[in-house]
Structure 1
Amino acid sequence: MFIDSVELTVHSGKGGQGAVSFRREKFVPKGGPDGGDGGDGGNVYFLVDKNTHTLAHYKGKKVLKAQNGRPGEGRKKHGKKGEDLILIVPPGTQVFDAKTNELLLDLVEDGQKVLFLEGGKGGKGNWHFKSASNQRPTYAQPGLPGKTRQIRLELKLIADVGLVGFPNVGKSTLISTISNAKPEVANYEFTTLTPKLGVVRVSEFESFVMADIPGIIGGASEGKGLGLQFLKHIERTKSLLYMIDITSYRDPVTQFKTLQKELANFSEELAKRDYAIALTKIDSLELDEANARIDAFLEAIKLSPTSNNRYGLDERYHFYLQELEEYEPKNPYFVFGISAVAKINIEPLKYALYDLVKKARSE
């Protein structure tokens, strides 16, 4: 199971005790106090690392502590600072107070390092307390205690395009075909149990990130199937690609309407995102049958086929495509058939999605 939410108790380190010590050297009859200071306790940091993709490495861990500072020693030797606790998390991690649900940190930038809890200060050694009236102080400060916080970490993937569809509609096949992601692909439902990110290269200097989200079913917004734990990953995506299996026993229009309903129930904001539709597995049908199903789908959602073929689509198949300058998010930017296996319309899909991504980024 994908670990995308974990609860932890984290502690910063306690400061080290200051030392009580007196100078003892041969031929120095009046050595004074020389107790060193205790070391500071270790801090707790969050570090964002794009090479980390889940919170699974915290599975089974309940309490994490930074190291305590070492006590001071004689000859004014300072105690060693406690080792910091660095919590490495993937981009998109949010840190909540486990008791109040207050959002404490939203960690999205790779390389971002944030101080979360400071360690306790080390206590001062007895040499600090020497005075004319007290030339033999026998007191040193204890170190200050560290801080403790109960937190919940939640991961929401960051991607330019999120793939949305029922199980086994070809999401994993598509992302493995056009990106560097290598998800498991098989002919049964719920093959994908963890979200996958892939970088889609459009040119040498242009690319976008695509997220393969585990299959959504009716009632997902209420927790059915893989439920809410994966719906929330789509929240950060800038654009959505609905993938509809045109050969499925589920009616394509029903698939689309169900997906729209589940997203809207989960988040009205999410339902307003720019989107497009890919009708998958068209290579499994005869050409006339595929076009008849494409036309029926377009008619059902009140759209008509278009002839503007600026992306070089396979013209054997009917399609719908808006002008980007006139694009209205209430309608899909495009609707056309694809086959990731037979590589039908895969390159045009890549370029069309990149135009949609550029529009979302500019906004």
Structure 2
Amino acid sequence: MFVDVAKIEVKAGDGGNGMVAYRREKYVPMGGPAGGDGGRGGDVVFIVDPGLRTLMDFRYQRHFRAKAGENGRPKNQHGANAEDLLVKVPPGTVVRDAQTQDLIADLTEIGQRAVIAKGGRGGRGNVRFATAKNKAPDMAERGEPGEVKEVLLELRLIADAGLVGFPSVGKSTLLSVVSAARPKIASYHFTTLSPHLGVVSLGDERSFVLADLPGLIEGAHEGQGLGHEFLRHVERTKVLVHVVDMAATEDRDPVSDYYAILHELKEYNPLLVERKQVVVANKMDLPGAQEHLVLFQQKVKDVEIYPISAITRDGIDVLMHRIAELLDQIQVEESNKMDFAEAEVVYRARGPRLTFTIDRDGNVFVVESAELDKLVAMTNFDQYDAVKRFQTILRRSGVDDALRAAGAKDGDVIRVGDMEFDFVE
């Protein structure tokens, strides 16, 4: 089974907790703080594995969790960092945030890695909070929570050229003739329900990857038929090889078929019709094909047309060499674009360190802030010094003043993250 879409949840490891500890030595009666920091939680890292071809494994395992870092130890010993969790994915995997649809990673190269969820940093031990006024702080940080994300995986085949066209026009037969691929071939629609890849080797030591993609139907851009499942893979190809049944074996009109496919591609992504393309006039060995070809050439202009017969193999060598030439041209163009892009540097100013909003939930004032939510998770409210530090951060960040401006008074309930506090003047 070919599986090219999967939704999973990834959870990076939490940072280890910092420790509250003090020096306990025979001749040092008032030893200072000696609590070590917690270790860093493991990242969830996707790595491209050339041995994978589908996302089938993600149908059976949907949750991936990295390990937490170790807690800090006495005598200023830091906890060990957790190992990253490596998740293998096939080449061509696109990773998006399932909620926002934002692109997280586009994994195309063998061995390429991408951090999908970042592990939390370790909490600081009490030695980190020693000051001239408080030489023996009775507080330490909890570890930072690791990131949790629900991500959508999409597999888009990485092929140099893709065979597009209506069902039963001969795409699978053509691929089987020019490569070692053996797609299923039959005389009924939608024989190809999943993409097939084949490597085309030319006599001049050049080669390229050719994809036989499932047949399109009208309305595919709206999800009809195989719809988006097909069009997703077309986006990867550099050259579109448009196969047309020039013999019109099912009473179809080759000209109408050609423009119908162009319409579906344009509606899905206007950039697709700007790709380099060639038209393959297939089934030229059948009666009536030559007459249809003449009419096709009269009505379809500004496109290269290559008459072939996938059965008799006539015209195939010329077609394959032309595809290779187009790919060479594209490689030169892409190299020139990369050289120009490397010289362009964009600098962006950092935004404010802490942002928040204040809303009302009945009688409760709700302070919403990703930074403060993290601070709550990392604060041990059983420790007096930790509570004082938390209060100081709220005051210095302007939260106290903003609450007063919003109408908060002495004794009102304030909610930050999962914690509720009384507002005290």
TM-score range with shorter-chain normalisation? Answer: 0.7 to 0.9
**CA deviation string 1:166-223 (max 9, x = no partner):** 2233322322332343433344332222222222222464222211111112222222
Q: Give yes or no for the alignment of 1:362 onto 2:332.
A: yes
Equivalent runs, 1:51-70 vs 2, <5 Å? 51-70=51-70
Report how many residues are paired.
330
Q: Give yes or no for the alignment of 1:249 onto 2:250.
A: yes
Equivalent runs, 1:139-178 vs 2, <5 Å? 139-178=139-178
Q: Please name the residue that 1:337 is paired with.
A: 308
Shift of 1:234: 0.8
Is the Cα–Cα contact under 8 Å of residues 17 and 37 in structure 1 kept in the other structure? yes
Q: Please name the residue that 1:267 is paired with.
A: 269
**CA deviation string 1:104-143 (max 9, x = no partner):** 3333333322334321111234455678987876543321
Q: Please name the residue that 2:92 is paired with.
A: 92
1:9 is paired with a residue whose SS is strand
Q: 1:147 to 1:230 in 2, by over 3 A?
A: same
| Distance in 2 separating the partners of 1:294 and 1:232 | 34
Is the Cα–Cα contact under 8 Å of residues 241 and 279 in structure 2 kept in the other structure? yes
Q: Which has the higher contact order (CA 8 A, sep 6+)?
A: 1
Runs (5+) with no aligned partner, structure 1: 304-328
Shift of 1:160: 2.1
Q: Give yes or no for the alignment of 1:235 onto 2:206.
A: no
Q: Could you state the TM-score of these two structures normalised by the residue count of structure 2?
A: 0.67
| Counterpart code for 1:331 | D
Shift of 1:76: 4.4
Q: Which has the larger radius of gyration?
A: 2
| Distance in 2 separating the partners of 1:166 and 1:216 | 5
1:302 is paired with a residue whose SS is helix
1:162 is paired with a residue whose SS is strand
1:295 to 291, 302, 324: 291
RMSD: 3.2
Q: 1:237 to 1:38 in 2, by over 3 A?
A: same
| Distance in 2 separating the partners of 1:250 and 1:82 | 65
Q: Please name the residue that 1:201 is paired with.
A: 201
Q: 1:187 to 1:299 in 2, by over 3 A?
A: closer
102-111 vs 217-226, which moves further: 102-111
**CA deviation string 1:267-320 (max 9, x = no partner):** 33212322222233445x3xxx3xx422323323417xxxxxxxxxxxxxxxxx
Runs (5+) with no aligned partner, structure 2: 334-425
Shift of 1:13: 1.1
Q: 1:298 to 1:271 in 2, by over 3 A?
A: farther
Shift of 1:345: 2.9
Identity percentage of aligned residues: 41
Is the Cα–Cα contact under 8 Å of residues 35 and 126 in structure 1 kept in the other structure? yes
**CA deviation string 1:74-124 (max 9, x = no partner):** 454432322313343334333333223333333333332233432111123
Shift of 1:61: 4.3
| Distance in 2 separating the partners of 1:37 and 1:142 | 9
**CA deviation string 1:204-256 (max 9, x = no partner):** 64222211111112222222211122112112322211222336314251432
**CA deviation string 1:301-343 (max 9, x = no partner):** 417xxxxxxxxxxxxxxxxxxxxxxxxx95332220222x443
Q: 1:263 to 1:134 in 2, by over 3 A?
A: closer
